[in-house]
Amino acid sequence: MTRIDFYILRSADTRNRQLLACRLTEKAYRLGHTVYIHTDSPPESRVIDDLLWTFRAGSFIPHAISGNEQGGQSSPVSVGHESEPQCNHEVLINLSPDVPVKVDRFERVVELIDQDESVRQAGRRRYRFYQENDYPLTTHKLDGSRGHAGIL
């Protein structure tokens, strides 16, 4: 069954959520997992695409915007905003306010919540959905330090 992890940030900063998504993606990639980062919109997909190249000096995470993969090859990391991802990956990192479609096709779903009220409310709705559908849930409260990416 799909495992759901909620990571709770202390700040109300979208940029911190996006950077955490990049750090967790890097950790998962280095562990040999494939990752789909689900965003809310095309502009946010482009922001994540750019951050994956720049969030940390010396990092290299091969990735593609979903649907832009070369020759039909799936990248180990894809970024997209489609209601249903077209790729098959092990880990889904959700930056969207909604529960992703067919969430059970992933081994693990990572939900990133900051202290922005709209993000918190949407996170509570997703948490209730997962709870009502008997998904195993784990919550990680982060202190804001850079070392928290090791939790994955």
Kindly report the pTM of this predicted structure.
0.89
Task: Print burial letters for 48-67: b (CB count within 10 Å at least 16), e (below 16).
Answer: bbebbeebbeebebebbbbe
Q: Distance between CA atoms of 54 and 130, rounded to whole angstroms?
A: 33
Q: What is the pLDDT of residue 56?
A: 87
- Which CATH code for domain 3-144? 3.40.50.10110
Does residue 61 contact residue 73 with C-beta atoms inside 8 Å? no
Question: Helix 42-54 and helix 14-30: axis angle, to 10°?
Answer: 60
Find, among 111, 114, 97, 113, the residue nearest to 40 by Cα. 97
Over range 134-152, report the average pLDDT.
Answer: 73
List, for residues 18-42, the tens digit of each pLDDT value: 999 999 999 999 999 999 999 999 9
List, for residues 44-83, the tens digit of each pLDDT value: 999 999 999 989 888 789 999 986 554 445 789 999 998 6
Q: Could you tell me which residues come within 8 angstroms of residue 142 by beta carbon, excluding any fewer than 6 positions away?
A: 7, 8, 9, 10, 20, 148, 151
Q: How many CB atoms lie under 10 A from the CB of residue 28? A: 23
Res 149 pLDDT > 50: no
Distance set, CA 53 to CA 38, 59, 60, 69, 142 (Å): 17, 7, 7, 17, 24
Query: Where in the chain are the domains?
Result: 3-144
Question: And the tokens for 119?
Answer: 């993000």
Q: What is the pLDDT of residue 152?
A: 54
Percent of the chain residues past pLDDT 90, beyond the cut? 68
Res 100 pLDDT > 60: yes
